[in-house]
Each structure stands twice: as C-alpha cells, then as structure tokens.
Amino acid sequence: MKNKLLKLMLFSSLIAMVSCDPFNTEIEKNSPEETVVKYTAGNIKTPVDKDTLKVVSWNIKFGGGRIDFFFDCYGDKVLMSKDSVIYNMNGVVAEINHLDPDIIFLQEADINSKRSAYVDQVQWILDNTNLNYGVYASQWQADYVPSDGIGKVNSGNAILSKYPLDDAKRIALSLIGDQSAVVQYFYLRRNLLEASVTIKDKKIYLLGTHASAYATDDTKKKQLQEIKNETVNLVKNKSIFILGGDFNTIPPNSKKYENFDDDKCAEGSDFASLGFKDELNDMQPFYDDYQAAISQEEYDAENSAFFSFTSDKNGFWNRKLDYLFTNGNFVKFSGLVHQDKAHGGAETMPLSDHAPLSVLYVLP
Amino acid sequence: MKSKIFILILFFSAQSIFAQNVQWSDNSARTLEKSRKEIGIFSPFTMGLTESLELSVHPIWFFMTPHIHIKKYWTEISSFQISSLHRLSYETPILKMLSKSGTGGVLPPTREIPQFIKLNNALLIGKSYKEQYITLQLGVDFAYGFGNSTMPDIEYFLVYPRTYALNHLYTPYVALDVTGNLYKKIDYNYHTDNFFLTGENAGFITEQAFQLIWRKSEKFNVRIGAIYTIGDFPYGKGNKILPTIDCLWAF
C-alpha cells in the first residue's frame, strides 16, 4: 500500500515539474553558459595576420530587409517566405563581405523562427562570409507566440569572429516591469552576450547587446546600468573588452530626440515611439569611461553623419542607436556608419532598418 | 528519458484486479451504456444514445468549431470488439477568431482562411487481455477548404498533427489505447497517437500519454497525467512533455 501511494506521489510530482514552462520561453531556466549556442562555419578560412581588427556592429532585422512588417506600422507583414529570407540574407552577406570584419556583433539574428522560414541566419552568414566562429544568445524564444501570428520564434544576439571564441555566456538583462505576467512570459528577454577571443596571445572580451525598444518604464535604464556593470567588472579584473550593439537610445547632445519623421505607429500602440527626451544622458557613462567608435566630439559636430536607424525605407537614417565602445584602443576617427555608397561604399538602406557601424581596433 | 522509464515501471507494476464497474467514456472500442451522460472540464459532453452508439459534443468548443463525434460499436469477432469513430467539424470560425493582431493572434490577421470542413474516420479494434482493455485505432483525418487558403500551419505540439490536414488534405494515424486497474479505485491509461504527415512537410509525429484515473464514484473521476510528443515539425525535430488533467462528472 505504502509503495503504491509513494509511486502515486512521485508521479504527481513529475506532472507538476514538467508543466512549468509550456511554451519554452524562460531562457533563464538554464545556466548562462548553457543558454549560449556555439557555431562553426562549414569551411574554416584562415585569417590574415594584421595589426588592427575590423569590428562591426549591425542589427540585421532578422533578414527582413525593407519588407514593411506590422510593428513599424508601414505595413502588415508577419511571415516571410523562404525565398524572401534567402534573398535578403544574400544582401546581408554581400554587405558583410564588403565590410570584411574580423569580429561582428549582430542583433536580431533569427536561428529558428517561423517569420524567417526557420533559416538559421547565423550559420548562413558563417557559411557565406570569411567569418569562422560564432556564439548566439537568444533574446526571444518560444515554441509558439500566440500574438499577431508570429508562431515559433528564436531570435537574438550573435558574435561572429574569424578567430575561435571562448568563455561564452549569456547575461540576462532586466525584463520589462510594467507588463502583465502573460505578456512578459511571451515577450523578449534581453541579454548581454559575452565571449572572449585570443589574438597574438592577448585575450579580448567581446560583449554584444540589444537593449529594450518598447519599454514604457525605466527598464532600458536598468538594462544600460547592467551592461555598464559588467564592463566595470571586466575592468576591475584588468580585462580588455569591446562592447557593441543596438542600445535603442540616442547619444547625449542629440539635436533631435522626438517626433521623428518615420514615426507611423499611433500613439498608445504597443510600438509607438516615445521619443528620447528622458534618456539624453543615459549613454554618458559609457562615453565617460570608454572610447567610442564615434566620439562625442565627432557626433556633436555633425549628428546626421552617424545616424544608423530609420523605419522608413523611403527616408534616410534619422537617429543613432548603434554603438561600439572599448577600454582598449580604437584607431582614432576610424569609426564609420555605413549609410550609403558615399559613406561606406554600398547602399545599405535596403538591407535592414539599421546601418552597420564599423571601427578599427588596435591589437596590443 | 528518466520520466519515460518511470512511467513504464508504473505500467508494469499494475495490480491484477481490474475492477471497473461502469464504463466511462474513453478512447477504447467500448461505448457508454445507454442514457449515461458525462462531461468534463476539458472533455466533451458524451452520451450513450443506445447500448452501441455514443455521441460527443463539447458545449463550449461547439460554438467556435461546430462539430459532432459519434462512436459506434458494430460487432464482436473472435473476442475482438469492432467499433468505428466518426468526427465532423467546421473549422473556419475558430480559425478566423484566432487570426488577429495582438494578443491571441495564433494566425496572422492578413491570411485567407477558406471554409474548412474536417472529417475523421477511424476503425477501433478492442480486446480484453489480462484485466486490461487494449484498443487499436486506425484512422485518417480529411480536410477540405472551399476557397483560397494562405493559412500557415500551426506548428505547436498536439495542435500541429491535428490541424495538418487543413493544409495538406489528409493525415493517417494509428493509435493504441490500454486501460487497466492499478489499485482499488485507481486505474491507469496509456495512449499513443502516431501521425503520418504527408505531402510537402512529410514526416512522423508520435505522442505517448499516460494517465492515472481516480474513480471516486460512478459519477465522478479525476484524471491526471502527462503526454510526451516527438516528431517532425516544419522547423525540424521537436519534442515536448506536457501535463494533462481533467475531472469528469456523470449523470
């Protein structure tokens, strides 16, 4: 009798255990190391020996090119066909080959999403460029998102490199606090992806991130603080790092910070732009302590030359959301936002709602 | 893996007494006795129309997906009970409800959804064996859309194989159901559904479910268990374990 009751209790416990995350959205239930996916190119290409590294940061909009998706309010697209994804990814790959980075920080890379026909975009880039190794950390994962027909999604940050990557881990950033429990369960879970690369016996930590875009509370501020804290930890340990990503906020002294001409979503909608009036100093701590690919002096002299985002494919880049920082050394004035043929040598507007940002890093 | 081994251990340690005094609605070849009615939190309303004919309708689901299920017991051949299962449903209302912007949008709002009719037919062959009742089910889902369809698949576990026919015309399947008594008023049920996906996304999905059924009385039971599914989805191989729970009342 006792054995039978024990079996019944054990069985009931099993039921309780398996029911906790039915849509597999809770990325943080695994360890920071376990949540990172590691990649290798199908064909390893030997990098050329050099004194500087070309470092790029680019939000590739999940291979969506300039298709008008519902969240920008220019259209109502949700799902792409495989042909569309491959066409767009070929454009992304062509630009990456044109840039020829040694290291690239990617944001909004899909690896197994219904909206991008389940194409693994990280593997696609590795197999079609000179990059050899990659690490990926999801910021949006669900067996099925029952909203807008999105379905299965796995999208996040990636760091790709010509050199082997080690010490990879995913550092969870704060979730948006003023969401309901259900929305928060299915929503994005932002992260700071960390890895290290050793070149000429010098270890450099690489930090890739993508801060919150639609938070209406102070979540983004918290996330920026968490990112800063990790860089401070690395500095305390006398480590060199390069931090890159889409911070979804504008630099200090930006001349325009609200009422952008590409704001098409109605006020009050989930995707409405709130402007950056209350965030003008949020990036200052990074500028104070680290070298930026685009210095404050350069930006202050001419904001528009460094704008890296617009949701309007028929407009022009109208704000700077993308950054690269280091506590090492960038080659001064080597930072460039690849806005068009005149600035970077290629038309990047059709490829994503973000332009790539590049800089040269001096190897010690 | 450990959970599967544990479930198998429970299965093989079943007690010899099979003491089901009344037939509850289930996935076996047996039908409810005449005039017996049952309803569950998740299970449909089921009624024994005659000693060999059972009708099921879900009182809430009916208004989103009008449907009717019939199970008919035909005959016994060499101690094998032969029944058939027939389900007819009109799927379009629920699909259109779920095709929307924002929360609850299982399908994109811009996709065309035709008038879908779904028909399921299955042959059930059941037999008592050592205080257990075993049923083999051979069935096929058919679905036809009247009009143009750009509806994508719904690739979530349990839903995908059961809606696959909407975009791919038919889905054959094989099921096995085993029910027995574990201890006094506690029965167990093991059920497996195996779907053979045809056409463009051809593949195979299997579901393994195990439940414990506490028969408090002839009028009330509680069912608790888990279902494990693994197979071929549009994105590749997928697997999941999910809990199952229900309470049933008879009147």
What pLDDT, on the 0 to 100 scale, is given for residue B5?
40
State the burial class of residue A224 (Cβ atoms within 10 Å of its Cβ: 0-12, 13-18, 19+): buried
Dump pLDDT digits (tens) for A133-142. Answer: 999 999 999 9
Kindly list the residues from chain B whose CB atom is less than 8 angstroms away from the CB atom of residue A150: 105
Q: Which two tokens stand for residue B77?
A: 């051949």
Q: Which domains does chain B have, with CATH numbers?
A: 2-250 (2.40.160)
- Looking at the complex, report in whole angstroms how far the Cα of residue A249 sits from the nearest Cα belonging to chain B: 25
Helices (H) and strands (E) in chain B, counts: 3, 12
- Rounded Cα distance, A143 and A164, in Å: 31
Task: Tell me if B243 and A19 make a contact (CB, 8 A cut-off).
Answer: yes
Dump pLDDT digits (tens) for A4-19. Answer: 554 555 555 555 555 5
Dump pLDDT digits (tens) for A43-61. Answer: 999 999 889 999 999 999 9
Q: Which two tokens stand for residue B244?
A: 């199952």
Kindly list the residues from chain B whose CB atom is less than 8 angstroms away from the CB atom of residue A12: 224
pTM over the 0.95 mark = no
Give the confidence band of A347 by pLDDT, cuts at 50, 70, 90: very high
- Looking at the complex, report in whole angstroms how far the Cα of residue A213 sits from the nearest Cα belonging to chain B: 17
What pLDDT, on the 0 to 100 scale, is given for residue A364?
80
Task: Tell me if A79 and B183 make a contact (CB, 8 A cut-off).
Answer: no
- Rounded Cα distance, B43 and B59, in Å: 10
ipTM score of complex: 0.88
- Rounded Cα distance, A311 and A104, in Å: 22
Give the residue among A309, A208, A189, A173 at the shortest CA–CA distance from A254.
A309
B-contacting residues in A 156-215 (Cβ below 8 Å): 182-183
Dump pLDDT digits (tens) for A179-220. Answer: 999 999 999 999 999 999 999 999 999 999 999 998 888 999
- Rounded Cα distance, A65 and A72, in Å: 13
- Contact of A7 with chain B, judged by CB distance below 8 Å, is answered with yes
What pLDDT, on the 0 to 100 scale, is given for residue A352?
98
Q: Nearest by CB to B108, which of A8, A11, A149?
A: A149
Cβ–Cβ < 8 Å for B211, B188: yes
User: In chain A, whose CA is at the least distance from the CA of B108?
Assistant: A149
Helices (H) and strands (E) in chain A, counts: 7, 13
Q: Nearest by CB to B104, which of A11, A18, A146?
A: A146
Task: Tell me if B240 and A143 make a contact (CB, 8 A cut-off).
Answer: yes
Task: Tell me if A118 and B236 make a contact (CB, 8 A cut-off).
Answer: yes
What pLDDT, on the 0 to 100 scale, is given for residue B3?
44
What pLDDT, on the 0 to 100 scale, is given for residue B76?
96
Residues 6+ apart with CB under 8 A from B235: A112, A114, A118, A152, B155
What pLDDT, on the 0 to 100 scale, is given for residue B232?
98
Task: Tell me if B243 and A10 make a contact (CB, 8 A cut-off).
Answer: no
Task: Tell me if B157 and A143 make a contact (CB, 8 A cut-off).
Answer: yes
- Contact of B12 with chain A, judged by CB distance below 8 Å, is answered with no
Q: What are phi and psi of B132, to 5 degrees?
A: -125, 160
What pLDDT, on the 0 to 100 scale, is given for residue A10?
54
- Rounded Cα distance, B1 and B19, in Å: 31
Give the confidence band of A73 by pLDDT, cuts at 50, 70, 90: confident
The 3-state secondary structure of A4-21 reads: HHHHHHHHHHHHHHHCCC
Q: Nearest by CB to A18, which of B212, B238, B242?
A: B242
- Residue-averaged pLDDT of chain A: 93
Q: Nearest by CB to B156, which of A19, A70, A144?
A: A144
Task: Tell me if A149 and B152 make a contact (CB, 8 A cut-off).
Answer: yes
Strand segments, DSSP code E, in B147-202 are: 170-183, 186-197
Dump pLDDT digits (tens) for A140-151. Answer: 999 999 999 999
- Contact of B182 with chain A, judged by CB distance below 8 Å, is answered with yes
- Rounded Cα distance, B119 and A279, in Å: 58
- Rounded Cα distance, B38 and B244, in Å: 18
- Looking at the complex, report in whole angstroms how far the Cα of residue A104 sits from the nearest Cα belonging to chain B: 26
What pLDDT, on the 0 to 100 scale, is given for residue B11?
39
Per-residue pLDDT of chain B (251 residues; tens, 9 = 90+): 444 444 444 333 333 333 446 788 899 999 999 999 999 999 999 999 999 999 999 999 999 999 999 999 999 999 999 999 999 999 999 999 999 999 999 999 999 999 999 999 999 999 999 989 999 999 999 999 999 999 999 999 999 999 999 999 999 999 999 999 999 999 999 999 999 999 888 999 999 999 999 999 999 999 999 999 999 999 999 999 999 999 999 99
Q: B53-57 and A151-161: which strand pairing?
A: unpaired
Distances A104 to A184, A259, B70 between C-alpha atoms, Å:
30, 31, 60
CATH 3.60.10.10 fits A2-362, yes or no: yes
| Three-point CA angle A220, A226, A229, nearest 5° | 145
Cβ–Cβ < 8 Å for B181, B4: no
What pLDDT, on the 0 to 100 scale, is given for residue B9?
40
Q: Where are the domains of chain A?
A: 2-362
- SS3 state of residue B97: helix
Give the confidence band of A267 by pLDDT, cuts at 50, 70, 90: confident
Lowest mean pLDDT, pick from A26-40, A235-249, A255-269, B133-147: A255-269
Give the residue among A87, A167, A78, A71 at the shortest CA–CA distance from A121.
A87
Give the confidence band of A274 by pLDDT, cuts at 50, 70, 90: confident
What pLDDT, on the 0 to 100 scale, is given for residue A271?
81
Task: Tell me if B226 and A18 make a contact (CB, 8 A cut-off).
Answer: yes
Dump pLDDT digits (tens) for A309-331. Answer: 999 999 999 999 999 999 999 99
Residues 6+ apart with CB under 8 A from B8: none
Kindly list the residues from chain B whose CB atom is less than 8 angstroms away from the CB atom of residue A4: 182-183
